[in-house]
Chain A
Amino acid sequence: MTIVLGSADGLNAPRPRGGIVQSMNDSLVIARRNLIKMSRIPEVIIFGLIQPIMFVVLFSYVFGGSMQIGTSTSPAVYREFLMAGIFAQTVTFATAGAGAGIADDMHKGLIDRFRSLPMARGAVLTGRTFADLVQTTLTLVVLTVVALLVGWRIHEGVPKALGAYALLLLLGYAFSWIGALIGLSVRTPEAATSGGLIWLFPVTFISNAFVDSSNLPSWLQPIAEWNPFSATVQACRVLFGNPGVSTSDAWPMQHPVWASLLWSILIIVVFRTLSVRKYRSATG
């Protein structure tokens, strides 16, 4: 009968399965699926771009004149200071996308379909986070152009700047694993979207992203300085050669590149483990 004994059966031989190879293959299949999907809902990407651009413009021109960075009150200095913060904030918003996407898949029964297939366990989530990484990269490119237009510059050469971008992408990747866990934990895609965004506001605002952390109330300063998000912001300022040298003697502010790297890796390890465990027992 045609359905069962299709002519493609000769080709049905499974491709070799090895733990990590299969895992990577499956993740790429899922990533591809998510990228196709994103390309067919371009609104999501467009709104994802408008938001950070709006932040650049609002912060630069509304707050720019009243901010003091180090000893300078020049709006131009603030604009250069601000960009690392906006970059970092933008990559963390990948969290909401990952969370909503996964919650949507659960809601529609796709996760059940995937879980009944002989595929690598973490691949559905890994594939999603890969796709988010691609989207984040695209957003960073556009945002960089906007930043150059408002007067932001790279002062320390291209290699270091690339290092800064790598740290930003790593932070975004780490945060999309937090989003994955949120997506698996809530009941509806709507809850995942708002749940994925709400906590990002305190995390990105109680930091050095938009103000010099030495201007914060003294009890907030340690929180801001040890905030994983601040480490990446500070690392970017250093690597881009932007204003905002930290006078704090907190370790992450003294060694921001290392701190950023370690924080991101820690977040990935913890949230990937939790998410994959949750996925395995997801009941949809």
Chain B
Amino acid sequence: MPGAIYAEGLVKTFGDVRALDGVDLDVPEGTVLGLLGPNGAGKTTTVRVLTTLIRPDSGRAVVAGIDVLRHPNEVRRSIGLSGQFAAVDEYLTGRENLQMVGQLYQMKAKAAKARAGELLDRFHLADAADRTARTYSGGMRRRLDLAAALVVSPPVMFMDEPTTGLDPRNRQELWEVIKELVSGGTTLLLTTQYLEEADHLAHDICVVDHGRVIARGTSDQLKDQTGGERVEVVVHEPEMIDGARDVLARYGVAGIGHGEVSVEEHIRKLTVPVTGGAKLLAEVIRDLDAVGVEIDDIGLRRPTLDDVFLSLTGHVADRGEEEDGSAPDGKDGKDRKSRKEAVK
């Protein structure tokens, strides 16, 4: 039986650009799929197809058991969509926004009102409920946008870069909300440029590039596939680099960089792929000590999704422009622009 979100051979071209080039997805009920990829990889286009916003040129998609192409309006009753930028009406209050969405989900006015109140409480927006959304901070807008997507408690949710442009605190807060949501049984498809986010939230990850899924699996599987652990050493003096290199070379296994020791001279750091875990680390320390290499820092490091990404796509993941920025209302302009690019 196909999962709550199922797609087979989705193709979509915009002019000469093949935005989707045969995307297959299968998300089991109650799980989170992280769709990871650089700008323009086809993440947003995939979401737009699955949420009935655009029709693919070919392929098949089933969401919540309903054929997306044949019964789009039935699908719309069963999904919630939270966009990359907060799609709320800034001249309406938080409460009015949620009430409107509820009514458009065909709830009666009274029920929509009750539900709006509940969601505002749940998302810590009760105090701001009767202020227009334009007075909200970036984080508040995102929460309101997410609340709007949850008005009917849809069994399947789509979130297109839910935390792009948020500061770390707001991102953390949103992650908590998303986790809670998923623990309640919602199936979620999440696109993100933040590897950490996918690592944190997703059960399974699909890496997309150039409109195709180029790798899939759990975060651990992808990391193992890329290569195992490695030892990182920072030596005390630049002159000690050569000595340390000789020692580490003995432990090197074929993995990242084919078992060779890589050196970053300016920070006196050496890295080597290894197998053997913590026990091995003790041996390395002993051996380094024996040849008189003083170390400032040593550690066993697992590959990050960044490494996975790099080895799969040959380039580092594009970060959002506001990576570390606390762009409080990173709304329209910028977000819109990155979204446009994502479509193309």
Residues of A bordering B, CB below 8 Å: 1-9, 11-15, 17, 22, 25-26, 29-30, 32-33, 36-37, 40-41, 107-110, 112-119, 123, 283-284
Residues of B bordering A, CB below 8 Å: 48, 51-54, 73-74, 76-77, 79, 81, 83-92, 96, 100-101, 103-108, 110-111, 114-115, 118-119, 122, 132, 148, 150, 152-153, 177, 180-181, 183-186, 331-332, 336, 339, 343
Q: Are B185 and A8 in contact (CB under 8 A)?
A: no
Q: Are B118 and A8 in contact (CB under 8 A)?
A: yes
Q: Are A3 and B180 in contact (CB under 8 A)?
A: yes
Q: Are A40 and B132 in contact (CB under 8 A)?
A: yes
A3 → chain B, closest Cβ, in Å? 5
B170 → chain A, closest Cβ, in Å? 18
With the chains together, A140 CA to B188 CA distance in Å?
A: 51
List 6 additional contacts besides A6-B122, A14-B107, A15-B106; criterion CB under 8 Å: A4-B150, A6-B115, A7-B118, A33-B100, A113-B101, A117-B105
With the chains together, A115 CA to B185 CA distance in Å?
A: 25
With the chains together, A26 CA to B74 CA distance in Å?
A: 17
Q: Are B118 and A112 in contact (CB under 8 A)?
A: no
Q: Are A118 and B153 in contact (CB under 8 A)?
A: no
Q: Are B111 and A6 in contact (CB under 8 A)?
A: no
With the chains together, A33 CA to B339 CA distance in Å?
A: 26
| Given A1-B180, A11-B107, A112-B53, residue A117 in contact with residue B115 (CB < 8 A) | no
Q: Are B89 and A33 in contact (CB under 8 A)?
A: yes
| Given A112-B81, A283-B53, residue A22 in contact with residue B118 (CB < 8 A) | no
Q: Are A116 and B89 in contact (CB under 8 A)?
A: no
Q: Are A118 and B184 in contact (CB under 8 A)?
A: no
With the chains together, A2 CA to B339 CA distance in Å?
A: 31
| Given A3-B122, A12-B107, A117-B76, residue A110 in contact with residue B87 (CB < 8 A) | yes
B325 → chain A, closest Cβ, in Å? 20
Residues of B within 8 A of A5 (CB): 153, 184
Identify the closest chain A residue to B152 (Cβ): A12
Residues of B within 8 A of A30 (CB): 104
Q: Are B110 and A11 in contact (CB under 8 A)?
A: yes
Residues of A within 8 A of B106 (CB): 14-15, 17, 22, 118-119
With the chains together, A284 CA to B54 CA distance in Å?
A: 10
Q: Are B115 and A4 in contact (CB under 8 A)?
A: no
